Amino acid sequence: MSIDNARTLAEANEHSLIWIKGYGPEVIHELVSCPAPVIVCDKRFSIPPDMLSNRCFIKSDNPKLLFSRLVNGLFVTHKSRGIHPTAIISKEAVIGDGTEIGAYTVIEKCIIGKNCNIGNSCHLEDNTQLGDNVTVGSCSVIGSCGYGYSRDENGELVLFPHIGGVIIEDDVEIGTNTSIDRGALGNTIIRKGSKIDNLVIIAHNVIVGEHTLVIGGAILCGSSQVGKNCWIAPGACVRNGKKVGDNCTVGLGAIVTKDIPDGDTWIGNPAVPIKAFQESRNKGDKQ
């Protein structure tokens, strides 16, 4: 028995490592025709004895996590590219050991930690700080001027000064085509371990807590705050100055116009607690 690839159940061959999501009887039916010899599964899965003769099942409380670690360890390789010769780096920038910078990326007066990976055609503007092991996807802009205006006596718009910076702590990952504005007077801060998806907008003075996920198309408006261990779903928007507590979920396309307490799940437009949303739907169905 040997493995040399990781694939889906439908695409597996006789040398594949696979992961199965379910643990009910339907999974057995799917496995009958699957030739994969090594299978990561839920610990609740009852393995038929006849499948044990030529297969290895690895049971886990969290099979997705275990599968991820196995694949990352066995099959994901990284070829160091160093700093691309077309990258433009300020003489005042501080770049940590082991950091890689892609083609046509611009680094202004920034402090960048060790072992970071910055993609192609990125722009990191003045007063941006990256911790260690930070990933920035291609075409992302960090430290751009925020969007905030006041009207003068003639009704014309005057840009509020944005002279703060951006602080991105260790182990943060930022996707492609994402924009993170610098603070107006303070800093925009992304705390340790958070993961920011592609096409996300994070405005001036936003604070994102540790180990939070902000998914594609989400918008965090100026001075909003998101706590730790949160999930901000695709297309969600948190209004200026509003706070999302720790361990919260903001649903798909939700528009947050009020502060959300710790541990809550809010959905809808405007967003409300999921229980209130369901009760409103049920009431409408009865009318």
Are residue 60 and residue 160 in the same domain, yes or no? no
Residue 287 has pLDDT above 80, yes or no: no
Residue 157's pLDDT band, with cuts at 50, 70 and 90, is: very high
Are residue 216 and residue 101 in the same domain, yes or no? yes
What average pLDDT does this structure show over 2-30? 90
Are residue 65 and residue 93 in the same domain, yes or no? no
- Looking at the structure of the chain, the number of domains it has is 2
Asked if the structure places residue 3 within a domain, the reply is: no
CA angle at 88 for the pair 85 and 91, rounded to the nearest 5°: 115
| Per-residue CA distances from 71 to 65, 114, 170, 217, 231 (Å) | 10, 24, 23, 28, 24
Are residue 230 and residue 146 in the same domain, yes or no? yes
What average pLDDT does this structure show over 218-226? 98
Asked if the structure places residue 5 within a domain, the reply is: no
CATH of the domain at 153: 2.160.10.10
Residue that is last in its domain, among 74, 99, 124: 74
Asked if the structure places residue 6 within a domain, the reply is: no
* Euclidean distance between CA atoms 87 and 92, whole angstroms: 15
DSSP states of 96-142: -TT-EE-TT-EE-SEEE-TT-EE-TT-EE-TTEEE-TT-EE-TT-EE
Asked if the structure places residue 40 within a domain, the reply is: yes
SS3 72: helix
Residue 223's pLDDT band, with cuts at 50, 70 and 90, is: very high
69: domain range?
A: 11-74
Confirm whether 204 is a catalytic residue: yes
Are residue 200 and residue 119 in the same domain, yes or no? yes
* Euclidean distance between CA atoms 251 and 194, whole angstroms: 18
Are residue 126 and residue 176 in the same domain, yes or no? yes
Are residue 107 and residue 65 in the same domain, yes or no? no
Of 29, 123, 204, 211, the active-site residue reads 204
What's the predicted TM-score (pTM) here?
Answer: 0.88
pLDDT of residue 91: 96
Residue that is last in its domain, among 22, 45, 74: 74
Q: What percent of the chain has pLDDT over 90?
A: 83
* Euclidean distance between CA atoms 95 and 110, whole angstroms: 8
Are residue 119 and residue 234 in the same domain, yes or no? yes
Asked if the structure places residue 81 within a domain, the reply is: no
Q: What percent of the chain has pLDDT over 70?
A: 98
Asked if the structure places residue 35 within a domain, the reply is: yes
Asked if the structure places residue 282 within a domain, the reply is: no
Are residue 70 and residue 92 in the same domain, yes or no? no
What average pLDDT does this structure show over 142-171? 95
Residue 228 has pLDDT above 80, yes or no: yes
pLDDT of residue 42: 93
Are residue 66 and residue 93 in the same domain, yes or no? no
